[in-house]
């Protein structure tokens, strides 16, 4: 079933929309959530919440790209769950590394109170990503949107982990300059 058919099911409030969405996008959303949470039980809870959020938001939302719409929901739910879990216990993991790397460019979430500032930041980062080469764009999205490990990215690109680390460091330096140029300071 293609995405437009699934969205039609959502618009009709047909419960098969959830079944079809899960059938088509379960493994994709599972990978995103697993990269962030790394706990299969919590990942399952986030996936169930993803389907529920999609059900509650379509309509009135009509996503242009259902795959990315679901990825964003899954990612946000997973990050929120990660934050609540880390509030209970401090620990490591890939997501800590991702957040530490991005901290070079932007302040931590506790420093950024306003939704307006976050919206401007998101729009600025979107403009920045469009300036990157296809490879750099893909690496940036894999690391900082999907929270993939350096090792996973290096295997995908058949490059050393050091090469990926250096490339991501250069991309973050470009991002920092871009944010300064757009006068987005923290």
What pLDDT, on the 0 to 100 scale, is given for residue 149?
86
Higher pLDDT, 113 or 27: 27
Q: What is the pTM of this model?
A: 0.60
Task: Specify the residue for token string 């389907």.
Answer: 51
Contacts of 69 (CB under 8 A, 6+ apart): 54, 61, 63
Q: Which of 24-28, 48-52, 115-119 has the lowest mean pLDDT?
A: 115-119
User: Please, are residues 142 and 148 in contact by the beta-carbon 8 Å criterion?
Assistant: yes
Say how far apart CA 52 and CA 145 lie, in whole Å.
21
User: In the predicted model, what is the mean pLDDT of residues 41-57?
Assistant: 93
Candidates 133, 138, 125, 140; CA nearest to 178 is 125
- Model pLDDT for residues 109-158, shown as the tens digit of each residue: 444 344 556 667 777 788 888 899 999 999 988 888 888 889 989 999 99
- Which residues neighbour 6 within 8 Å (Cβ) at sequence distance 6 or greater? 17, 20, 21, 24, 66
């Amino acid at each position: 079933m293609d995405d437009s058919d699934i969205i039609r099911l959502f618009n009709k409030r047909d419960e098969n929309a959830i079944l079809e969405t899960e059938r088509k996008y379960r493994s994709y959303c599972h990978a995103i959530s697993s990269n962030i949470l790394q706990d299969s039980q919590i990942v399952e809870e986030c996936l169930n919440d993803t389907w529920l959020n999609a059900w509650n938001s379509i309509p009135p939302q009509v996503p242009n790209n259902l795959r990315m719409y679901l990825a964003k929901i899954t990612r946000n739910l997973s990050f929120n769950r990660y934050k609540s879990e880390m509030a209970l216990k401090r620990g490591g993991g890939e997501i800590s590394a991702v957040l530490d790397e991005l901290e070079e460019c932007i302040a931590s979430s506790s420093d950024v109170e306003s939704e307006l500032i976050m919206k401007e930041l998101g729009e600025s980062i979107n403009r920045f990503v469009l300036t990157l080469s296809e490879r750099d764009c893909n690496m940036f999205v894999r690391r900082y949107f999907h929270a993939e490990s350096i090792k996973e990215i290096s295997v995908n690109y058949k490059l050393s982990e050091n090469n990926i680390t250096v490339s991501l460091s250069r991309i973050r330096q470009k991002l920092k300059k871009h944010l300064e140029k757009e006068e987005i300071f923290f």
